[in-house]
Every structure is written in structure tokens, then in C-alpha cells.
Structure 1
Amino acid sequence: MKRNEFRKSLQKIKKNLDTTADKIVLNELSEHKEEDQGFCSCKDAEGLPKMLYPTLKEAEEELAYLKKSNLRIYPCPSEKGWHLTKG
């Protein structure tokens, strides 16, 4: 095999490896995003993402810090954590 042919073969292999590696990384990121406990699609009345508290204790601490009696804690419908709401 000539040197130029060898070089072209190596470049082709590298390109295939890079493409395969990119696909693997994208798949892993996609799977991780779906499993991420810090993300939900809940929106507030203005269409903005709601603050998500991973644990009930964290939601209770935030509620105590805010000192607002018109807020209450409820579980995220996506079962990812807890939200505060007026009511």
C-alpha cells in the first residue's frame, strides 16, 4: 500500500470514529436529560419554568425563608420534586 493510500485510509477511519463518537455522546446526553431529577416542564401562570425543589425538606425551607402565608407546597406532576404555589 502506498503512503498516500494509507493516509487516506487512516483519515477515513478517523472520520468514521469521530462520527460514531459524536452519536454516542449525543445519545448519552439525551438519556441523561430524560433521567435528570432537576428538570420538569411545569410552567407558572406567565409561562415561565417553575422552580423545582428536589426534596420536600428543601421546599419547606424555602417556604419558611419566604415567610409568605399564601404559598403552599405541592408535588410536581412529573414526579421530579416539589413546587410552591399560591393558594
Structure 2
Amino acid sequence: MEFKKALKQIKKAMIAQEKASRPQAPLPTREEEIQGECLCTDSQQQFKTLYTTELEANHQAKFLYDEQGVYLIVYPCPTSSGWHLTKG
């Protein structure tokens, strides 16, 4: 019984050490978020463009509608201060 407890403790310690040694992807800085990326991704796991103002996002949505006929909806980013476009 003591042997099983010791094995569990060793396994737990090894898992913790493995997790601690894994390289962590750095989170974007506030400046990087403002420059056009946040943690939001689209259906293809690509980072969404972050527009700094609702007006800027609306202009882009109108441009894409005029140029490509794609109707997009502007919505606030749920993780940072900015705006995204999504298909409507």
C-alpha cells in the first residue's frame, strides 16, 4: 500500500515538473492587441482583426460589402477593447 502511495506521489511530481518545463506562448502585450490582434480566432483558428473603434470596423464592413458583396456585422471584442467583424 505504501508503495502505491509513493508511486502516485512520484507520478504527480513528474507531471508537475513536465508542465513547468513546457514552453509557454507569450500573451500579446496591450500594444500588440491595439495593433490589430487579440486572442479571438475565427473558424479556421486565425487571429481576428481588432479594429480600435466601432467607426473603423463599420468602414471596413462597408468597404467589404461594396467591393465583395459580403455582409458583415460589427461587434465588440469580448476579450479586449476593440471591435471585430463577423458574417451576418
TM-score by length of 2: 0.55
**Cα displacement string for residues 13-39 of structure 1 (whole angstroms, at most 9, x for unaligned residues):** xxxxxxxxxxxxxxxxx8x91x32414
Structure with the greater alpha carbon radius of gyration? 1
- The alignment covers a number of residue pairs equal to 56
In the TM superposition, what is the alpha-carbon distance from 1:80 to its structure 2 partner?
Answer: 2.2
Which structure 1 residue ranges, 4+ long, deviate > 2 Å from structure 2?
none
Report the equivalent of 2:60. Answer: 62
Where structure 1 has 5 or more consecutive residues not aligned to the other structure, the ranges are 1-29
In the TM superposition, what is the alpha-carbon distance from 1:69 to its structure 2 partner?
Answer: 5.4
Where structure 2 has 5 or more consecutive residues not aligned to the other structure, the ranges are 1-25
State the identity as a percent. 39
TM-score by length of 1: 0.55
Q: How does 1:1-87 map to 2 (within 5 A)?
A: 33=29, 35-36=30-31, 37-38=33-34, 39-67=37-65, 68=69, 70-87=71-88
Q: Hey, which of these two has a bigger chunk of strand by percent?
A: 2
In structure 2, do the counterparts of structure 1 residues 66 and 80 end up closer, same or farther at CA, with 3 Å as the change threshold? Answer: same
